[in-house]
Amino acid sequence: MKAFPAEKVRTLAIIGHGGCGKTSLADALMFVSGANDRHGRVDAGSSIGDTSDEERERRISIQSHPLHMGWKGHGLFVIDTPGYADFVGDMVCALRVADAAVVVVDALTGVDVGTMRAWRFAERRNLPRAVFINKLDLEGRDAFDLLDELKQAGVRTWAAPAPATSGIENIYDSADMERRICKPLGFAGPFRLEDIPDVPARIQVVASIIAGEVDLPLLRALAARGPVAIDIQGFVRVRDNDELVFRPWPDMEEGLQYVTYLKVDRAEAELLTGHTELWKAARRLAEYGPREIVLTQSSGVMVLAGGQFHRAPFTPRSLAGRTGRGDTCFATYLGKRLSLDAEEATRWAAAVTTLKQEEPGPWRGNPDDVERVWQSWS
C-alpha cells in the first residue's frame, strides 16, 4: 500500500439505509481507483467489502469494513458501514473517525428511515455530507420523481428526457473561488425550444453550465418571448476531452444583444473583456446590450444597473458550501429584483450567498437569517 503524508489522507464513511447499495458503491470505488483489479459484486459473493461467510450468505453488511485506495495524490480510507438498525453501532463508530460522509439513497425506495437515521448521526458530528442516489438504472423508478421536492414546494416543473445529465466536478486549489479546475461528469445535450413551455414569465433564466446546451437560435427565440437572464459560464465553459476549459464565446457580440440580465464572475469577466478592474469589465460587457450586470468575486457582488454600481460583501464563517455560490447569488438577485430596486436586490443577494456558502446544498433559511447578516455588516 502506497504511503501518503498525513495531510493527504482522508477518511470517508459510506452510510445509509440497509440494502441501498453502500457496499456496491465501495466496490465500485475500489475498482475505479485501481485499488482492486476486479469489480466485486455483492450478488455474486465477490464483494471486497463483505468478508465474512455470514455477510456473503445474507448479502448484507453486519460490521464496518475500512477500505483503502489512492486517488489524485491522496490516500482515501472508505469505511463501508452496515445499514440495518441492529448494527447501527458500527456506523456510529465509523462516523467518529470520518472526515466526511456519503449518504447513499436507493432511487427505487427513496428516503427511508435508515437514511434519516444515518443523516442525523452525521449531522450530530457536524460532518460534511454528500448524497449519492443509487440504482437509477433499474426499472421501476421514474427519474422525474426526483423533482417531487420542487413540486411539493409549489414549483411547477417541466422536464424532458436526455441521454445523460450535465454535471461538473469543481476542484479548488485555494480559497479563491474563481480559480478552480473543472471536469465534466456528463453532458445532456442541447436544449430545444419545443422542450421549453411558452408560459408567461417576467424573467427567463438560462442556467446552463456547459457550452453547447444553449445555442444562439434558442437564445434569440427566448428573447422574443421576454427578458432573458444568463450565467455566462454556460457559454464559455467548453468541453475539451476530459477537461472543461474557459474560452471566449464566439457569438458573444450578437448573443448578449438578447440578454437583459448577465451574470459573470471575476475570471470570466477578465477572459471576455481583458480588464482586471471589475468596474471596467462590467461597463464593457454592458456595451454589448445587457441592461444589468451581476459580477461576483470571492469578496462579494457588484451590480451595474442603470449606469450605477451597487456593491455588497460576502462574509461567510466557512466555505463548506462554496460550490453553487454564483447560482445562489444570481437567483436571489433576480427574484428580489422583481419587487425591489437594484441596490436592495444586491444586498439580499450578498446576504443569502453569505449564508449559502456556510453549508453544502441549497440555502433553506429565512428572512430573519438574512437580517442577522445585514446587522453584522453595520
For residues 368 and 230, state if they share a domain. yes
* Structure confidence at residue 1 as a pLDDT band (50, 70, 90): low
For residues 276 and 362, state if they share a domain. yes
For residues 340 and 238, state if they share a domain. yes
* pLDDT above 90 (res 313): yes
- Whether residue 347 lies inside any domain: the answer is yes
Q: Indicate the residue among 87, 117, 137 that finishes a domain.
A: 137
Q: How far is CA 133 from the centre of its chain?
A: 14
For residues 222 and 341, state if they share a domain. yes
Q: Indicate the residue among 137, 162, 187 that finishes a domain.
A: 137
User: Over the stretch 8-65, which tens digit does the pLDDT of each residue have?
Assistant: 889 999 999 888 888 888 888 888 888 877 777 776 677 776 767 777 776 778 788 8
- Whether residue 342 lies inside any domain: the answer is yes
If one compares 247 and 323, the residue with the highest pLDDT of the two is 247
* pLDDT above 60 (res 178): no
Q: Indicate the residue among 137, 157, 174 that finishes a domain.
A: 137
Nearest residue to 212 (alpha-carbon basis) of 178, 249, 185: 249
For residues 336 and 201, state if they share a domain. yes
For residues 65 and 202, state if they share a domain. no
- Whether residue 167 lies inside any domain: the answer is no
pLDDT of residue 338: 95
Kindly report the CATH number assigned to the domain that includes residue 371: 3.40.1190.20
pLDDT of residue 146: 64
105-114, 128-137, 206-215, 217-226: least confidently modelled range:
105-114
- Whether residue 283 lies inside any domain: the answer is yes
Kindly report the CATH number assigned to the domain that includes residue 39: 3.40.50.300
% of the chain beyond a pLDDT of 70 = 92
* Structure confidence at residue 237 as a pLDDT band (50, 70, 90): very high
- Whether residue 340 lies inside any domain: the answer is yes
For residues 18 and 125, state if they share a domain. yes
pLDDT of residue 172: 61
79-88, 125-134, 226-235, 338-347: least confidently modelled range:
79-88
Query: What is the mean predicted confidence (pLDDT) over 204-216?
Result: 93
* Structure confidence at residue 174 as a pLDDT band (50, 70, 90): low
- Whether residue 301 lies inside any domain: the answer is yes
pLDDT of residue 180: 66
Please give the residue range of the domain that contains residue 278. Answer: 197-377
For residues 97 and 20, state if they share a domain. yes
Nearest residue to 239 (alpha-carbon basis) of 182, 164, 162, 172: 182
Query: What is the mean predicted confidence (pLDDT) over 212-232?
Result: 96
For residues 226 and 81, state if they share a domain. no
28-42, 67-81, 166-180: least confidently modelled range:
166-180
For residues 213 and 126, state if they share a domain. no
pLDDT averaged over the chain?
87
If one compares 365 and 374, the residue with the highest pLDDT of the two is 374
Pairs from 22-26 (Cβ < 8 Å, separation ≥ 24):
22/61, 22/80, 22/81, 22/83, 22/104, 23/47, 23/49, 23/50, 23/61, 23/80, 24/134, 25/102, 25/104, 25/132, 25/134, 26/65, 26/67, 26/78, 26/80
17-21, 107-111, 112-116: least confidently modelled range:
107-111
pLDDT of residue 179: 61
Number of domains in the chain: 2
Going by C-beta distance under 8 Å and a sequence separation of 6 or more, which residues neighbour residue 170? 180, 181, 182, 323
For residues 201 and 100, state if they share a domain. no
- Whether residue 153 lies inside any domain: the answer is no
- Whether residue 157 lies inside any domain: the answer is no
For residues 350 and 205, state if they share a domain. yes
**Identity of the highest mean pLDDT range in 49-58, 98-107, 164-173, 228-237:** 228-237
pLDDT of residue 151: 78
With contact defined as beta carbons under 8 Å apart, do 47 and 40 qualify? yes
